[in-house]
């Protein structure tokens, strides 16, 4: 497994990981149309290309030996996207392809993202996850993040509750 900074060549694979994750994780919460709208809003290829070339927004990807052309999703098994706001780093998105979960790839891409945020001056890191995403919530808690409040996000014109997590002294 290799974790590295994303490039514009990774954009389609990152989008595919996001779409597969949303379809699996939110099947009981979001309609197929809402999933499509959310993926299109959040993972538009032009927006992703801008993010991976912006040094203020670290985007990391993880490749595994099992990922590749035969998997139908490119070579990316997971990705994370963050940014720094003052002394706080934010993990905006972190998704692991459903076929790669529980392999350690999520932890590795999170560690790289947290390190990049720390290198950019973050004294703490916050992450948000949909409140209904129990697996995502458990992931952050297992990585030492503590629940720090609530937030909301809009997906496909609908508002959904989120949980905010915080990691001090990353």
C-alpha pair distances (Å), 9 with each of 27, 83, 94: 29, 21, 18
132 Cβ contact list (under 8 Å, min separation 6): 26, 28, 29, 160, 161
Report whether 118 contacts 90 (CB < 8 A).
no
Report whether 113 contacts 57 (CB < 8 A).
no
In this structure, what is the dihedral angle of CA atoms 58, 62, 63, 67, given to the nearest 10 degrees?
Answer: -120
Sheet of 59-63, strands arranged across: 2-5, 59-63, 78-85, 88-96, 124-130, 158-168, 146-155
Residue 80: exposure state from Cβ atoms within 10 A (0-12, 13-18, ≥19): buried
What three-state secondary structure class fits 93? strand
Chain CA centroid to CA 90, Å: 11
Distance CA 102, CA 96 (A): 9
Q: Domains in the chain and their CATH numbers?
A: 2-122 (3.40.630.30)
C-alpha pair distances (Å), 45 with each of 10, 42, 67: 10, 9, 21
Please give the chain's pLDDT, 170 residues, in tens: 889 999 989 988 988 898 888 888 777 787 777 777 777 777 778 877 878 888 888 999 998 765 444 444 458 999 999 999 989 999 998 999 998 888 899 999 999 999 999 999 999 999 999 998 999 999 999 999 999 999 998 887 889 999 999 999 88
């Amino acid at each position: 497994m290799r974790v590295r900074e994303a490039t514009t060549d990774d954009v389609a694979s990152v989008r595919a990981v996001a779409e597969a994750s949303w379809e699996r994780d939110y099947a009981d919460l979001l309609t197929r149309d809402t999933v499509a709208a959310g993926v299109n809003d959040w993972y538009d290829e032009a927006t992703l290309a801008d993010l991976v070339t912006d040094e203020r927004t670290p985007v990391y990807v993880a490749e595994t030996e099992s990922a590749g052309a035969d998997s139908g999703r490119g070579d990316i098994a997971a990705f994370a996207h963050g940014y720094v706001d003052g002394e706080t780093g934010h993990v905006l998105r972190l998704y692991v392809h459903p076929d790669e979960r529980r392999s350690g790839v999520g932890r590795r891409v999170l560690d790289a993202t947290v390190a990049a945020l720390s290198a950019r001056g973050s004294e703490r890191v916050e992450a948000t996850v949909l409140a209904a995403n129990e697996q995502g919530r458990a992931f952050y808690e297992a990585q030492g993040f503590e629940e720090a409040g609530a937030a909301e996000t809009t997906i496909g014109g609908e508002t959904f509750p989120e949980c905010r997590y915080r990691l001090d002294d990353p």
